[in-house]
Amino acid sequence: MTYEDTAERVIDRLLLALAMQQHDKSGKSGLPDQVAEAFAGLSRDEAGVIFGQAGHLVHYGMDSEPLVSLIDMISAVQRGEAPEHAALKPGDSVRIVGDLPESLAEYDEAILRRTVFVVRYVGTDATVDVQPDLIEDYVIETVPIAIVKRVRT
């Protein structure tokens, strides 16, 4: 087993443990302050690893309720850090409406246009990282903000 495989399995275990711990707590929604602080200020790469790994677990059949709940809580932390009047924030649902970037050329355009994506990261470079519904896929793609349209928050 390679180092990368081992690292992915460790991340999987940690995400599952945290998701189950948060899921077992009744009556209080959201992450405890100390846990939320750990997810504050995520870089694009960090957000990609967390949401990609969690998405992979959900997509391939792990108990999705606790993981989806955890993903939503992490998005809420990111959303709280976004500027109040930002055009897009983490957690927003969007559709691709503009010209497809080269990075999406291998995908079926009709499917991309029908898919609702969730914003996972908003870059300072006029791009967003988007992820489809986890049951459909879990891959995160970086696209220009100009080609997406918010469908709900």
Is the confidence at residue 143, as pLDDT, over 90? yes
Residue range 64-91: mean pLDDT, rounded: 91
DSSP symbol at 100: P
Q: Residues 17-55: pLDDT tens digits? A: 888 777 666 555 678 888 888 889 999 999 999 999 998
pLDDT digits (tens, 9 = 90+) for 101-134: 998 999 999 999 999 999 999 999 999 999 998 8
**Distance between CA 29 and CA 21 in Å, rounded?**
12
What is residue 12's predicted lDDT score, i.e. its pLDDT? 82
pTM, whole model, 2 decimals?
0.87
- Candidates 40, 53, 45; CA nearest to 12 is 53
84-95 pLDDT, tens digit each: 999 999 999 999
